[in-house]
Amino acid sequence: MSDSVGETAEFVVRAASSQFNGGDAHIRRIPYVDDRKTIRETVEAAAEVGGMIAFTMVVTDLRKYLKEEAERHNVPVVDIMGPMLKGLSTLYGRSPKREPGLVRKLDEDYFRKVEAIEFAVKYDDGKDPRGLLRADVILIGVSRTSKTPLSMYLAHKRLKVANVPLVPEVEAPEELFRVPAERCIGLTIDPDQLNEIRRERLKSLGLTSRANYANMERILQELDYAEQVMKRIGCPILDVSNKAVEETANIILEMLRKGGGHA
């Protein structure tokens, strides 16, 4: 019996019974127990067949009622979670939450995060425009506006993020104009700061800072083109100048919560 899925109790019973009869035990799993009637009926069923009950319920009232009913019907019970909860309570110096299904919630949260990270990697830098239609949020902007680090940061918040670089010579993917505008965030930046960032990028690659990539005229051209695309989409626009990735990400999260807007 469990007030959640009951997988833990079943696994423990199978593992223990393998020490006696090769695991050949008839197990009936009773999940999501949240009322006394189910407990009473289960205890009566166990009494009829001479069975025992292993349980992982954490809600105090239900645990107490199960033990009382089992004793009244002379049905042996094994509290699988109790000793561990007691030990951890002593270790941590506080009481458990007594909330059913927390392990499952943690697992689901973990897998959602992994899925979001994999999504961000797969649809980084406009690799596959088809991902735009499945994204929770799309970041667009010229090169070096922190699209990739922002995508990864937001992925750790369990958001599926795609990002698309905007370059005048490359037509923006038509999928950008098919998604709701509020799901798209335009990133812009001060031209002088972008120039400095790009110069440093070229220097780290061992290239000359005179390359077109860091040319101010080119930068202004790119920013102008990006602004045209953003206005055509009608998406919120965020200036990332002098902002850390964490700060920008928090602003984006707030914008998404409010359903869009300019910042």
Show binding-site residues for ADP: 141-148
In angstroms, the CA 151 to CA 249 distance is: 9
Length of the chain: 263
Q: What angle do CA 172, 181, 184 make, to 5 degrees?
A: 65
The packing angle between helices 102-122 and 147-155, to 10°, is 160
CA–centroid distance for 14 within its chain: 32
Annotated binding residues: 141-148
In angstroms, the CA 46 to CA 38 distance is: 12
- DSSP classification of residue 191: H
- Amino acid occupying residue 155: A
CB 62 within 8 A of CB 3: yes
- Amino acid occupying residue 29: R
- DSSP classification of residue 161: E
Give the chain's radius of gyration (CA, Å). 29
